[in-house]
Amino acid sequence: MGSRLDSLMDMLSSMIFLVTLAIIVFIMLILFMIFFFFKDRIDESEDRRRRREEEEERRRANNP
């Protein structure tokens, strides 16, 4: 009886460990996705700002 309980506890503890590991990996994956999404958004906004500045310079050069 005791050995069966021990094996059950071992299985339970290993399952808890695996579930905890899976949750940690899932959270890290979500954080990486959020980071790359915001990085793309920041790059897009910088490109838009640079394009707008170049357009302003062209307008100034065409209208003295």
pLDDT score of 37: 86
* Average pLDDT per consecutive 10 residues, the chain (64 residues; last block may be shorter): 84 96 98 89 84 89 80
pTM over 0.75: no
Backbone angles phi, psi at 63, to 5 degrees: -115, 90
Torsion angle of C-alpha atoms 12, 14, 16, 19, degrees rounded to 10 = -130
The length of the chain, given as a count of residues: 64
pLDDT score of 64: 64
